[in-house]
Amino acid sequence: MQKISIEVLEKMMGADLSKNEIDVLLHIARYQDDTGHIIGVHYKDVCEATKISFQGYYDVLEALESKEIISCEKKSYYDRDITILNNDFAGKENYGRGYVSLHCGMVRSQEWQKLKGGAKLMALHLMREWRIYKRHAKSESYQVGKEKLLKKYQDLMHRKKRTIRSYLGQLKPFLNLYLEDGRMYYITFRKAAVEDPVGSDTENDEWRIHNINISLRRNRIKEAESDKIRDIKNTLSQYHKEIKNGGIDLSEIIKQTIEVTNAGRKNPAKWKRTLSPSFIHRLLRLELGYPPRAAEA
């Protein structure tokens, strides 16, 4: 799930976040489940993706926790689990809540990386406003008074008018902006900015691949055959409805298969650490409450 609830987005806009804090949060949000939970966040992966230092990464997590935007839990020697607070989309009570999607060409573009942090948050919020206007007005062009728009983002972001104008100017790679008579904005997001990124995996496949990679690292599996990874990804896809709300830990399931496979070896350093897709499939079914198949009973 690559969604940020409007409550979280507006909290971020008013929390005076640094660019690093914004970049890290938007990056890890790509790998959350429907409850807002991200397993196995590893400092090297995040630092490579966001171009921050190792110390910068830990400073960011501490800052985001202190501002009550995330919570962190050290559940593994190798990494930590992170939850984006108030970003739960699981269950009927959260169905249809307002959100912005991060799975779009804008967020994956090179131009996006150059934006200031505040401009990124404004872009996401403005894209949602444009989508709402487009749906109700049946128009591609979002029409809004200049002063009304500037005042809205001044209040949301606690920034001066000239700063909001500068953010708006940075967004020209993603939208067409026309000012009529100095008082009315006409805003249209470009197709490439709002559609799914070209050549990318689906949101769910990115989540599955992330979970598989985390499970390999946590179980010290250094090499894995591509066909086995494909089979596991297909298994996760087959049971997506059951596991999308969290609660299933693939790394623990893989750990169980390794322990069973090496039952006769006392020294873990000498264990054979390989993937067994069929065994993983069987344990996943049991974890989800399915009865054993006839051949397994």
CA distance 74 to 82: 9
Q: pTM value?
A: 0.85
Domain at 177, CATH number: 1.10.10
| Claim to verify: residue 16 and residue 98 sit in the same structural domain | yes
DSSP 196-252: PPTTPPPHHHHHHHHHHHHHHHHTT-----HHHHHHHHHHHHHTHHHHTTS---HHH
Residue that terminates a domain, selected from 75, 102, 129: 102
Q: Is there a contact between 121 and 106 (Cβ–Cβ < 8 Å)?
A: no
| pLDDT tens digit sequence for 3-32 | 899 999 999 999 989 999 999 999 999 999
pLDDT of residue 141: 87
Pick from 194, 214, 230: which residue ends a domain? 194
Q: What is the pLDDT of residue 249?
A: 85
39 lies in the same domain as 86: yes
Residue 296, domain member (yes or no):
no
pLDDT score for 64? 94
| 273 three-state secondary structure | coil
Question: What is the number of structural domains in the chain?
Answer: 3
Residues 71, 139 within the same domain: no
Domain membership flag for residue 297:
no
Same domain, 91 and 144: no
Range of the domain at 21: 3-102
Query: CA dihedral in degrees (79, 223, 1, 239; nearest 10)?
Result: -120
- Percentage of the chain with pLDDT > 90? 38
Q: Could you tell me if residue 292 is inside a domain?
A: no
What integer is the mean pLDDT of 94-99? Answer: 72
Q: Is residue 293, in this structure, part of any structural domain at all? A: no
- What are the pLDDT digits (tens) for 163-219? 999 999 999 999 998 888 888 889 999 988 888 877 667 888 888 888 898 899 888
CATH value at residue 84: 1.10.10.10
Question: First CA to last CA across the chain, in angstroms?
Answer: 35
